[in-house]
């Protein structure tokens, strides 16, 4: 077992020192057998999983055949502290041994402390509040219900937006392939081009309940909002009496190098939604309302969830926040993000356009549609990356990823691109 931050080069598939590889003949691989059982027991909404993973440590994971990978997906921006971080393991182990769940007829010290800490790092004024959800989509559902309490129904979201898969959140998500099989969704949703102040101005009216925007569109390939766009959204919503909801499910909890993506723009939103990084791998989300007027829109009995902020996930969230602070991870994220941009630029590779995004929410942008070929070659070579768009590879590694680990991937990129360009037999 490696120490959490120890750096070793990824194993090649030709390295036989750790038992069978994924490219072993069928039958000798536990991967193939387990994936066959998966196919016979799970609803196939995720397609065929790429790997069966068994354990992790820092930014590394191992599959059931013992092959090791540098994890630059990080559970899709979830494993903020990496895998198996001792602080998270200790906090969750202690809490589960004391009490995992109690229902919201009761509360716990952990729940109260996590709410207080979230309000503090969000810079939320007095009278702000937190509702804990169990996922990003549920946090967004909370925001939609909050918006209905304005007495209006209009919602404005951006083209390219991803806000989740429950039916309300799906209405805000823009991708037709996700939406169309479930139409009709909730009405009165308008999608406007992202980063287009004039389009937003035209869409926001006195019938708008809320404008919902991501500070960086992660699922669209790490497309960054201009801070001036978020400020324009703030001005337009204030003038129209509408709420401004910032979806920080992917950008929140240090991912951009600030605690929250909106903070760079200097605005005060009416609400933010959180999930992914908050629990470091345990399922916890949150709707945060800013100030007493917005918080007061939801009153006793109007919303709820059985699991909401139970002691187990609250203990996880507290350990994530205190570890980000104790390890200085916000600065580290900024440095690692800049390092990645510089290292990829230094390759001067003709197939690479550049690196987009903020902090450690990044995409390597390609000059042609090579991303899925690169992701396959990467997996074979021991790197997990996400081909988020045909021409973009998303990198959302654990916030603890090191310079040396990022360099391993950057050094491998030219050969991964070469493999992706080989004609398929
Ligand atoms: C992932 C994501 C969601 C949905 O979160 P789930 O936990 O998958 O429901 C919502 N908004 C944004 C911005 C996301 O990245």
Are 253 and 200 contained in the same domain?
yes
Classify residue 91 as left (phi > 0), alpha (psi -120 to 50) or beta.
alpha
Q: How far apart are CA 344 and CA 396, in angstroms?
A: 15
Q: What is the pLDDT along the chain (425 residues), one digit of tens a residue?
A: 334 444 444 444 444 333 334 444 444 579 999 999 999 999 999 999 999 999 999 999 999 999 999 999 999 999 999 999 999 999 999 999 999 999 999 999 999 999 999 999 999 999 999 999 999 999 999 999 999 999 999 999 999 999 999 999 999 999 999 999 999 999 999 999 999 999 999 999 999 999 999 999 999 999 999 999 999 999 999 999 999 999 999 999 999 999 999 999 999 999 999 999 999 999 999 999 999 999 999 999 999 999 999 999 999 999 999 999 999 999 999 999 999 999 999 999 999 999 999 999 999 999 999 999 999 999 999 999 999 999 999 999 999 999 999 999 999 999 999 999 998 76
**Cβ 214 under 6 angstroms from ligand 1:** yes
Any idea what the Cα angle at residue 79 is, between residues 135 and 282, rounded to 5°? Answer: 45
| Number of domains within the chain | 2
Q: Report CA-CA distances (Å) from 293 to 192, 239, 270.
A: 27, 16, 9
Is 29 annotated in a binding site? The answer is no
CATH number for the domain spanning 317: value is 3.40.640.10
**Cβ 218 under 6 angstroms from ligand 1:** yes
**Cβ 275 under 6 angstroms from ligand 1:** yes
Residue 42 carries which DSSP code?
Answer: S
**Cβ 163 under 6 angstroms from ligand 1:** yes
Query: Which residue CA neighbors atom 15 of ligand 1 most closely?
Result: 250
Is 138 annotated in a binding site? The answer is no
Are 343 and 305 contained in the same domain?
no
Sign, Cα dihedral of 271, 276, 282, 283: positive
211, β-bridge pairs: 156, 244
CATH number for the domain spanning 353: value is 3.90.1150.10
What does the buried/exposed string (b/e) look like for 361-394 if buried means 16 or more CB atoms within 10 Å of the residue's CB? Answer: bbbbbbeeebbebbbbbbbbbbbbbbbbbebbbb
For a substitution probing ligand 1, which of 275, 358, 388 has the most ligand atoms within 8 Å of its CB? 275
Any idea what the Cα angle at residue 249 is, between residues 4 and 343, rounded to 5°? Answer: 50
Structure tokens at 317: 């969230």
Is 137 annotated in a binding site? The answer is yes
Are 246 and 217 contained in the same domain?
yes
**Cβ 252 under 6 angstroms from ligand 1:** no
Identify whether 5 is part of a domain.
no
Helix (H) or strand (E) holding 334: helix 329-347
* Contact in structure between 375 and 386 (CB atoms under 8 Å): yes
Number of Cβ within 10 Å of residue 36's Cβ equals 11
Any idea what the Cα angle at residue 404 is, between residues 399 and 410, rounded to 5°? Answer: 95
pLDDT score of 425:
66
Instruction: Tell which atom from ligand 1 comes closest to the C-alpha of 217.
Output: 13
Are 147 and 222 contained in the same domain?
yes
For a substitution probing ligand 1, which of 45, 132, 133, 136 has the most ligand atoms within 8 Å of its CB? 136
Instruction: Tell which atom from ligand 1 comes closest to the C-alpha of 136.
Output: 5
Identify whether 273 is part of a domain.
yes
Identify whether 153 is part of a domain.
yes
Identify whether 93 is part of a domain.
yes
pLDDT score of 28:
56
Task: Give the tens place of pLDDT for each residue, 358-370.
Answer: 999 999 999 999 9
Q: Note the Cα 183 to chain centre separation in Å.
A: 26
Q: How far apart are CA 71 and CA 56, in angstroms?
A: 9
The whole domain housing 396 covers: 19-72+328-421
User: At residue 188, what are phi and psi to the nearest 5 degrees?
Assistant: 70, 30
For a substitution probing ligand 1, which of 164, 245, 246 has the most ligand atoms within 8 Å of its CB? 164
Are 280 and 363 contained in the same domain?
no
Are 237 and 385 contained in the same domain?
no
pTM tops 0.85, yes or no: yes
Residue at a domain's end among 326, 359, 390: 326
Are 67 and 104 contained in the same domain?
no
Q: How far apart are CA 1 and CA 336, in angstroms?
A: 25
Q: How far apart are CA 316 and CA 185, in angstroms?
A: 34
Residue at a domain's end among 326, 346, 371: 326
Sign, Cα dihedral of 320, 323, 329, 331: positive
Are 228 and 305 contained in the same domain?
yes
Is 130 annotated in a binding site? The answer is no
For a substitution probing ligand 1, which of 249, 251, 255, 313 has the most ligand atoms within 8 Å of its CB? 249
Q: How far apart are CA 136 and CA 133, in angstroms?
A: 8
Residue 177 carries which DSSP code?
Answer: H
* Contact in structure between 329 and 254 (CB atoms under 8 Å): yes
Identify whether 286 is part of a domain.
yes
Identify whether 26 is part of a domain.
yes
Are 121 and 240 contained in the same domain?
yes
Identify whether 133 is part of a domain.
yes
pLDDT score of 424:
72
Structure tokens at 141: 């559902």
Instruction: Tell which atom from ligand 1 comes closest to the C-alpha of 169.
Output: 10
Is 250 annotated in a binding site? The answer is yes
Q: Tell how far the Cα of 25 is from the centroid of ligand 1, in angstroms.
A: 37
Q: Tell how far the Cα of 133 is from the centroid of ligand 1, in angstroms.
A: 12
Are 209 and 305 contained in the same domain?
yes
Identify whether 298 is part of a domain.
yes
pLDDT score of 423:
83
Are 178 and 58 contained in the same domain?
no
Task: Give the tens place of pLDDT for each residue, 140-196.
Answer: 999 999 999 999 999 999 999 999 999 999 999 999 999 999 999 999 999 999 999
Are 283 and 310 contained in the same domain?
yes
Instruction: Tell which atom from ligand 1 comes closest to the C-alpha of 161.
Output: 13
Is 247 annotated in a binding site? The answer is yes
């Amino acid at each position: 077992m490696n120490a959490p931050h120890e750096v070793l080069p990824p194993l090649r598939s030709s390295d036989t020192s750790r038992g069978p590889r994924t490219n072993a003949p069928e039958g000798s691989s536990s991967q193939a057998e387990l994936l066959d059982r998966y196919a016979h027991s799970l609803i196939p909404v995720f397609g065929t999983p790429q790997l069966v993973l068994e354990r992790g440590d820092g930014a590394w994971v191992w599959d059931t055949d013992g092959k090791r990978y540098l994890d630059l997906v990080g559970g899709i921006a979830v494993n903020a502290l990496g895998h198996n971080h001792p602080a998270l393991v200790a906090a969750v182990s202690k809490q589960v041994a004391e009490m995992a769940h109690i229902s919201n007829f009761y509360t716990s010290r952990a729940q109260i402390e996590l709410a207080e800490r979230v309000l503090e790092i969000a810079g939320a004024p007095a009278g702000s509040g937190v509702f804990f959800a169990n996922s990003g989509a549920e946090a967004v559902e909370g925001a939609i219900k909050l918006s209905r309490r304005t007495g209006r129904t209009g919602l404005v979201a951006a083209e390219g937006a991803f806000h989740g898969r429950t039916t309300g959140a799906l209405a805000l998500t823009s991708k037709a392939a996700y939406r169309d099989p479930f139409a009709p969704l909730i009405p009165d949703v308008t999608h406007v081009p992202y980063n287009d102040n004039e389009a937003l101005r035209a869409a926001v009216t006195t019938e708008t309940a809320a404008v919902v925007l991501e500070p960086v569109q992660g699922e669209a390939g790490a497309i960054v909002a201009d801070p001036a766009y978020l400020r324009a959204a703030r001005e337009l919503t204030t003038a129209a009496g509408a709420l401004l909801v910032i979806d920080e499910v992917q950008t929140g909890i240090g991912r951009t190098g600030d605690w929250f993506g909106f903070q760079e723009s200097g605005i005060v939103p009416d609400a933010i939604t959180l999930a992914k990084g908050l629990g470091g791998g345990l399922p916890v989300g949150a709707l945060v309302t800013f100030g007493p007027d917005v918080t007061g829109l939801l009153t006793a009995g109007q919303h709820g969830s059985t699991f909401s902020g139970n002691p187990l996930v609250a203990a996880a969230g507290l350990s994530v926040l205190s570890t980000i602070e104790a390890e200085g991870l916000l600065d580290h994220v900024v440095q690692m993000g800049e390092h990645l941009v510089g290292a990829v630029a230094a390759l001067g590779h003709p197939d690479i356009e550049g690196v987009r995004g903020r902090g450690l929410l990044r995409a390597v942008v390609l000059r042609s549609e090579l991303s899925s070929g690169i992701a396959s070659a990467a997996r074979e070579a021991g790197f997990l990356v996400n081909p988020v768009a045909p021409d973009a590879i998303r990198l959302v590694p654990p916030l603890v990823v090191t310079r040396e680990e990022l360099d391993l991937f950057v050094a491998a990129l030219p050969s991964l691109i070469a493999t992706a360009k080989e004609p398929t037999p």
